[in-house]
Amino acid sequence: ETGVTQSPTHLIKTRGQQVTLRCSSQSGHNTVSWYQQALGQGPQFIFQYYREEENGRGNFPPRFSGLQFPNYSSELNVNALELDDSALYLCASSQPGQGNNEQFFGPGTRLTVL
Amino acid sequence: LAKTTQPVSMDSYEGQEVNITCSHNNIATNDYITWYQQFPSQGPRFIIQGYKTKVTNEVASLFIPADRKSSTLSLPRVSLSDTAVYYCLVGAGDTGRRALTFGSGTRLQVQP
């Protein structure tokens, strides 16, 4: 069973640029959630995708957008990057309805905005 | 949403039992208590979940009193590898389908 993978591991961008982060969900999982984790803080929910549809969104502006593909992998896109977007971006996959409902997190992508 | 309060940090030594208490005074009837562990540069990892009384698995025990306004995560005989941040979350039990609300967590430092 392959776990959740994310790419790239690290990324450096400048203010105003756009970035795309990628996530491959764990085998058999149809739900992907994205979180932003600033240094020293807990992860904050960005949004969740279930079967290619957005299934909930946290308090993030529209310049944070996402996609989920038929194979349940997902992308997080951030436009017009700001310095405060510097953070660890975490992807988590799950399969609601089965016996174990936990979310399985990937290692994250460390984004630095200069 | 039920807000949780937990200590910012704790220190322990190898071989000791560590108990981390979380307060959740506004917990709702349908809410479960879930604990996650996060190592540096990794994503959080599910440890344990419970609704009432005591739950035990191979990693930890979770103690929940009758009023459910607090809970205690117990880690038996910690080792250096248990150094991590521990998060207490409160919400619906089907954590796979909902947004997880993390606080700032408790930073546990285990020393030799």
CB A2 within 8 A of CB A23: no
Instruction: Give the mutation candidate from B33, B46, B100, B107 for the A interface (greatest A CB count, under 10 A).
Output: B100
Cα–Cα distance measured from residue A35 to residue A43, given in angstroms and rounded to the nearest whole number: 6
Per-residue exposure over A41-79, b if at least 16 CB sit within 10 Å of its own CB, e if not: ebbbbbbbbbeeeebeebeeeeebbbebeeebbbbbebe
A91 class by beta-carbon count within 10 Å (0-12 exposed, 13-18 middle, 19+ buried): buried
**How far is A53 from chain B, CA to nearest CA, in Å?**
13
Average pLDDT value for residue range B23-51? 92
Determine the Cα–Cα distance for residues B17 and B96; give it in Å rounded to an integer.
Answer: 30
Q: Are A99 and A109 in contact (CB under 8 A)?
A: no
Tell me the average pLDDT across B82-96.
88
What is the structure's pLDDT at B1? 54
Neighbours of A38 (CB within 10 A): 13
Contacts of B34 in chain A (CB under 8 A): 102
Residue B2 has pLDDT above 90, yes or no: no
- Residue of higher predicted confidence among A62 and B2: A62
Signed CA dihedral, A39, A43, A45, A47: sign only: positive
Flag whether pLDDT at A1 surpasses 60: no
Is A103 an 8 Å CB contact of chain B?
A: yes
Between the two ends of chain B, the Cα-to-Cα distance in Å is: 39
pLDDT on residue A101: 64
